[in-house]
Chain A
Amino acid sequence: MADVNITVDGKKVTAPAGTLLIEACKSVGIEVPSFCYYPNLSLQGACRMCLVKIEKMPKLQTACTTVIGEGMIVTTDSDEVHQARKGMVELLLGNHPLDCPVCDAGGECELQDMTFSYGAAESKYMEPKNHKEEQQWSPVVYFDRPRCILCYRCVRVCGEGMDVWALGVQNRGVGSIIAPNKEDHLECEECGMCIDICPVGALTSGAYRYKTRPWEMTHVGTTCTHCADGCKTTLGVRRSESGMEIVRGDNRDKSGINGDFLCIKGRYAFDFANREDRLTQPLIRKDGQLAPSTWEEAFELIGKRFREAREQHGGQAIGVVGSNRTTNEENYLLQKFARVVLQTNNIDHHRTADFPALAAALKGKPGSTASMRDVFHAPAILLIGNDPTEQHPLLAWQIRNNVRLHRAKLYVVNSADIKLRRQAAAFLQIPAGTEGRFAAFLAGDDSAAEGLGPVAGANAGESPAATQNQQTTLGGFREQVRGEQNLVIIFGAEIRGGDIASLVKFGSGVAGAKLLCLADYANSRGAADMGLYPDLLPGYHPITDSGKFHEEWGGVPQAPGLTLPEMVESARSGKLKALYVVGANPVGRFAIDPFVFSQSFVVVQDMFLTETTALADVVLPAANAYEKSGTFTNTCGDLQLVKKAGEVSGSKSDFEMIVRIADAMGADVHKLVPFGRGTTADMGQSRGAQSGEADRHAVWLEAHGLEPKMSPFDPTAILDEIQRLVPGYEVSRLNLVAGSDQHTALVGIATGAAQDPKLIAPATDNLFSSGTLGRYSRTLNSVMENHSRQPVESEVAAD
């Protein structure tokens, strides 16, 4: 668009036509205050804080609703403007309670800031304030009516941003109130966006209210540990008797791929960390009972038993199960440990998507994967399978807001009438289980169309023209999608194996098409990329193919190992002598008969006692992803930092435990973790009296452009190796450390053995569940309980 020139406070400003005055001012560093204006939400013009003087206009104008015009001369900083803003603050304070000392928002309240800026501390209004009791609208949302300044941000973010429309405004004038959709409570997705966006303390969170003050916390921006979208969540932590306690999750750091967005899990479901039943001591089975022991005793025992198993029965007698929630460094280290030290390729994890098939299909097609940011900017999106609203809340947000703000065209193919259908330009309902056939049909196999019908082709969307598409046929749909450009093709776990190749084939016929494969857990993609497969090394490198990994590591068995079900069978026949489970619950997840492992020596690293620890010989208390450093790769392939926020004394990171076990087995730790390069100083003291010291050193070193890597427990040493050896991970380290997301390219190196699609078991989580981990979140449980209870419709009318 053509540029428009204006003058603001004597400064020349040039901005594209159509820019709002408030944004034009912001672009040159002139702050125009506002409550109701929020970028990317509809304009409200309710608070009148952004009043500015525009020459030739008789009265002060609201900068948030004024579009800039050529030659406009604007004054944002004059006595008249100040007086107007002061008057607005004074009116807002008229009935605003003076409970800042106990209000959650105190210290980060926009009304407080404005009062300091424009000074309206003295009130001429002497009447008693109109008080109303606070209301609980849901387990996580509380409403304190008198604090509300009626900016309507919450109403708009819930409706426009989330497409939930659970909040409204009732009554009028001074009687106006924000109202929930079910008379006295909310029925919604519990995302907490309304709380985060509230400029004051009118909406507060059940998880955080009255717990602490903002300035008493340290804020750590890290990556969420729940679904595979990889939102950046800012955790507020403070010291507690057991280490560092996470008190709050929010997204005050808006630099992440999620921008303004966080769902309930990212915002509230950190509370598993401080549960009473968290393991804080290693447990060793003695006389049939798990009894507390010391770390030394535990590592010594594990080292001895693993060594015996390897020496007496060979590596094939040992199985390893990795995790979808441990960092890339831990996953890489685990498979390296398995292959190099345990001498086994029997390594697997809970697979939720067929990434190896995607990598193989994309061979020779670099740059064909979409990042999470691409989903927000792509002009067209094809979504096959999955229900992102439930399973990938950020992805759903990106799609929804791309359609709303950029008019992207969304094509949805699903067996169910999913919520994103409302944004779809075209929707095809196909019978469940035929998604793969649909992919083949897209790729040009017309015979696959049979059995896809009866297709309830229908259309959602605002335009009346949409009804024309009622008659959408399969062929018409395919032609329409094929005609798009820069299409992002998103598919769920319904599409596996050869069907992915079909989609890639279809995509190669669309200009600029990119693919996005949906897995279910925070680091599912990382687990796959880092080679938690019996026949694939990191970067989907076939184990049988000698290459740089074999050269670098030396002596790695080249025969493919056992998959998880094969390990179970091996244990049943008494061949599997040892099983090492890191951060997973295979017994609970796959309903494995626990007696199968009665002949095996089982070691489990976990936070809690699970179905799998019930049959363990040794249980090691593990730190979770909020308590360690490293990197996660989200389902799109965006690599992001995981930063240590909380700490529970008595637990160790999986990284440290793997290294300690290797050491106890007599392995050369230097070969496993290339740390230090000659320096042997150990800064890994992250517990006891020296607690936090390593972190402080790390901060200093990072600030000086150095990285510690002086301890064998330092994941950055492994990150070096990952970046050196895993194709696609050669991203900018500087940007990564600075906290930016870095898209890794999925580079198919060689076509590895096709994976059995039956090994993929989708997590089937919804908005309020999160695998085994979700069980331990009090907030998620209380919300689920609340939703399952059928609310009694009361007859009381609002007035």
Chain B
Amino acid sequence: MKRLGLLPWLAAGLAALPGAAQAHLVNSGLGPFYDGALHLLLSPGDLLGLLALALLAGLRGTTAARAAVTALPTALLLAGLIGLTLPVIPNLAWLSTLAFMLLGVLVAFDVRLPPVIIAALAGVYGTLLGLLNGSTLATMDAGVGSLLGIVLTAFMLVLLASAAVVPLHAFWARITVRVAGSWVVAVGMLMLGWLAQGAV
């Protein structure tokens, strides 16, 4: 009960953050590369999606995790470069929320997808993140340096998280990972609720 009580607050906080982050690129004072890295680290929706993807890939084993770690940053970089040249994309917070919710559902149900599908999912999610972030960066007069900060940070997050899950074979450990996936879904549902109410 206590956990459920915290969840709405967590979701509200997370839902509020992306709006602030999109207003202008976070100034780390360390140049565009770190500004981009910080931008990703302060975008909870993107972080949850990357976490869910890493958990999903890790649950499916070494080959799937390796495929995700390769496909995601590649797609993110290429789509980001395209996104930098695009006109302003309208706020698609609902789309990115739905995307990470879907990944969370796959984790929660421990869906047994083959590595090639995991790679495809990573590619599609990376493309979505890349287009959205690239377009956002363009509106902030940020360039390739910031995009690379985002790509390297995303790569590191997925690499570390998926490698942490791969060796987990104990039943209870895999259940814990699946519970984390269900939390991602729960946070996503609450964020969608706030989005529907126009709170964000």
Q: Do A and B bind each other?
A: no
Binding site for A on B (CB under 8 A): none
